[in-house]
Structure 1
Amino acid sequence: MTTGDETAVRPATADIGRSYEDMAGLTETIGGPDLHYGYWDGPRDPAAVPAATRRLTDLVVGRLRAAPGDLVLDAGCGNGLAAVRIAETTGARVVAVDVNPAALERGLRHACEHGVEGLVEFRRADALALPYGHGTFDAVLAFEITPHFELRPLLGELTRVLRTGGRLVLESPCLLEPVGDPEAAARVRAYLDMFAAGHMHTAREHLESFHDAGLRLLEYLDLSEHTAPFFPRMLRRLERRRAELVTRYGSAAVERERRTIAGWARVPGSGSVLLAGAAPDAKRPPDARE
């Protein structure tokens, strides 16, 4: 965790899977099955959370520039809706990997419901040890997964399986600046613990790790202003359905979710970024621009 604590350890993959099962039902009931941030044009944008999460998915997927015949990796695919959306909107073939078998089963159901089961393969795998050879994929997606990893090993492995010139697109929560205040650091830690995650990296660390992986940076977007409405809207949705949620999940789980979301939203410099990069062409200098 980039809050001055250098002792954070990545949880075991089994712990990550269990954590998502523990909180996925509650979070999905509040905000829908995407389990990631949404995108709003501003604080007055009336879009509901599920519509806004679809917007963010489309924004991120569009950066892949995938096309029919391409092979795309969705690393840490969760419930698989981004992988399904890639197949739906681009016609590309998608390999979606995750460590959580239950999430992979849900992903397959989503693919069947959207009629793209022939284009999307779901497979259990760790993003740090992918069972694919060098240069296998035309594009790679890392959608809000970096808190579970050290950045350099993750981006090194994702770049390894990316063909020359292929695109890697990453969107993630982050810290726009390091957190030094102990109270704010505790709120960050609570947010990470809810997902059995180990690190909240800074925006600069994401940029540096792209460079260290040999990726040519094509685009960098600070999405923080557009994703910030996610938190107050999730909290309002939780309060509207509190009685139902307490009946289904228990008062302790509901209160933990409320407290953790509210705490992360109050962390100075909490935000989100999108980066797109390309595996360098050996025939071009590393700093060449498209």
Structure 2
Amino acid sequence: MTSSSLRPTPDQMTDYYDGMGALLQVAWNDNLHFGYWDGPEDESSIEEATNRFTDMLAARLRVGPGDRVLDAGCGIGKPAIQVARTTGAEVLGISISPHQVEQAGERAEREGMTDRVSFQHVNAMDMPFESESFDAVLAFESIIHMDRPAALREFARVLKPGGRVALTDVTVVQEDPGNIEFFEGFPRKQPAKNEAHIASVVEPGDYPGLMTDAGLQLDELLDVTENTKRTFNLLLDGVIKHRREFERKHGITAEEVLGSSTVEDPGKGPGCVVVTAHKP
């Protein structure tokens, strides 16, 4: 079953990403999402692995010139710009964080992409866009912060008939995926009574029902835990390596950022799935 945890408010999410987004930029990459490695022998860099994952999702959108894509939870804009470049589509990125929207807009301007990429401060679960106004929706792990049924219904509402959703989500796994050391050495905050988790996990088997209830038809449910699990240890390495630089620049410690909000316990460790669907 999907999590019944309390959901964070928009203000809580804004505060979270003001700190976590900045830490990820220093310790990880401007792609604020998992990396994808082809196997144990793949020595791709973080940038190569995250760009590869973006390309994998972009291909699943099946869009091209003249199409309009919504990037729901766009971070600081790197995936949206990459999708626009590789597909020729127009991309609108939205984020609950005004600061990230500002950064994303500056990136698009620097890279000369403002003719096809734009960004807005929007809550993905309550979007102001007209129904059937997008050809595809992309969501890179952003749905972990949302009420999944509500978010998927909104995705379906703004999609044109035949339009596609491609997203990644964090899942419960039954076996240790080899990435549970990520938070070793950092404080684990115990949630207070009725406190919202900043993120939640899902059982992969919930997705057929979630998509049907949202008015979408599930096309693919692909477990990529083995390909993405290196993310956690490399991110930990980056946090350790750059923590002092981050503290000097932002006036807050990495421990304070990581311990500031609760994340639902994934049990054996977090997995990752790629999910694609279409609107009939």
Residue 244 of structure 1 deviates from its aligned partner by 3.1
Kindly indicate which of the two structures has a greater share of residues assigned to helix: 1
Q: Render the CA deviation track for 1:206-250: whole Å, top value 9, x for unaligned.
A: 332112212122222111000001111122233333443444456
SS at structure 1 position matched to 2:61: coil
What are the superposed Cα offsets for residues 247-282 of structure 1, whole Å, 9 maximum, x if unpaired? 4456x732356789xx999941521001111101xx
Per-residue CA deviation, residues 17-54 of structure 1 (Å, 9 max, x unaligned), is 11111122222111111111101112332122222111
Q: Is the 8 A contact 2:171 2:203 kept in 1?
A: yes
8 Å Cα contact 1:26-1:249 kept in structure 2: no
1:149 equivalent in alignment to 2:149: no
- 1:241 counterpart SS class: helix
Number of residue pairs the alignment of both structures matches: 268
> Structure 2: where are the runs of 5+ without partners?
none
8 Å contact kept, 1:177–1:203: no
Q: Report the Cα offset of residue 108 of structure 1.
A: 0.9
Aligned to 2:278: 278
Partner of 1:23 in structure 2? 20
Instruction: Provide the residue aligned with 1:268 in structure 2.
Output: 268
Q: Does 1:107 align with 2:104?
A: yes
Look up the match of 2:136.
139
Matches of 2:198 and 2:175, distance apart in 1:
17
The equivalences for 1:1-290 within 5 A come to 6=4, 8-176=5-173, 197-249=198-250, 253-255=253-255, 267-280=267-280
State the SS of the aligned residue for 1:39.
coil
- Which whole-Å CA distance do the structure 2 matches of 1:12 and 1:28 have between them? 23
- Letter in structure 1 aligned against 2:87: T
Instruction: Tell me if structure 2 keeps the 8 A contact 1:192–1:198.
Output: no
User: Identity, % of aligned pairs?
Assistant: 33
For the residue of structure 1 that corresponds to 2:58, the secondary structure is helix
Q: What TM-score results when the alignment is normalised by the length of structure 2?
A: 0.84
Q: Provide the aligned C-alpha RMSD in A.
A: 3.3
- Alpha-carbon distance in structure 1 between the residues aligned to 2:34 and 2:256: 19
Q: CA deviation at 1:178?
A: 11
After superposing the two structures, state which structure 1 stretch, 87-96 or 232-241, moved more: 232-241
Q: Deviations over 1:35-92 (max 9, x none)?
A: 1110111233212222211111111111111100001111121211111111111111
Question: 1:63 aligns to what SS in structure 2?
Answer: helix
State the TM-score, normalizing by the size of structure 1.
0.81
Aligned 8 A contact 1:73 1:96 in 2 = yes
